[in-house]
Amino acid sequence: MNQYSTESLIRKMPGFSSRLQQVKDVHLHYVKGGSGEPFLLLPGWPQTWWSFRHIMPALAKQYTVIAVDLRGMGDSAKPVAGYSKKNMARDIRELVVALGYDRVHIAGHDIGANVAYAFAANYPETVNKLILLDTPPPDESMYRLPMLPVGMPVYPWWVAFNQVRDLPAQLLEGRFGWLLDHLLDTLLVNKEAISEFDRAVYCQHYNHPENIRASCAWYQAFGQDIVDQKTYSKIKNSTIGIVSSANVEILNNFLSHNFFEYKMMEVKGAGHFLPEEKPEQIAQAISDFLN
């Protein structure tokens, strides 16, 4: 058995099971465990549901935890189209309905945070509480991002790279580990927080042209996402932004313009991948907020 497969990974997660659900034109893969109010976790690039592995058991003591591979991610389907965050939020809405829930708590990290925001904006009656981890959705400031580092230690070059058609898959097929290691080693404070094993789990999914193409489609839809966001009302649902020190200003700015009320929590000593660098602190912060 492939040690990096979901079947193998689930054996490391007592009390959780791996499942598939058909919604609209795709099947979504999710991992479910625990009991209580439903709580959805949406991962980001370049990861899968596995990015929440450390916080899922703690949260499952109080909640039915459902970690979802988004459209184009992990063991979920990878169709050619449908990667606007509004449409991906509809995927999640269809999943919630299929699982028999009326309302859910929802948290998203990175691309997952973009989808969680779109979910709350389009289906506010379905959201109890919303948690955005470290990442705001793109706005028109995206078009002013520098193409060169210009003295900055970290700059998001991948936002542009992933919007190039076809080339990323041609360059990265079988070589995604080079990009993954660069990204993690740049954005992690504790480089050991995501082990060689964990990196191999992610590489297994992102090493293939179909998977690279689908994940790039999340970024290629940013222009449409920005257009869609201009139609959204300010969000009334109870919300918290949990953020690394590097992104406090950018996330707070987004929340201040798009939410009526919200909380902010800064996580010091961590980089972008909060659930893996500070799992105990993140799990406790989420639990406190939901309670």
210's torsion region: left (phi>0), alpha (psi -120 to 50) or beta? Answer: alpha
Question: pLDDT tens-digit profile of 149-192?
Answer: 887 777 899 999 999 999 999 999 999 999 999 999 999 999 99
Residue 146 pLDDT:
82
Query: pTM for the complete prediction?
Result: 0.97
- What amino acid positions are annotated as catalytic residues? 110, 219, 272
Ordered by where they begin, the domains of the chain are 6-290 (3.40.50.1820)
Question: CA 137 to CA 257: how far, in whole Å?
Answer: 12
Give the DSSP letter of residue 114.
H
Contact 44, 109 (CB under 8 A): yes
Question: CA 271 to CA 189: how far, in whole Å?
Answer: 5
Question: CA 248 to CA 111: how far, in whole Å?
Answer: 17
Locate 10 and state its tokens. Answer: 């689930």
Res. 74: pLDDT tops 80: yes
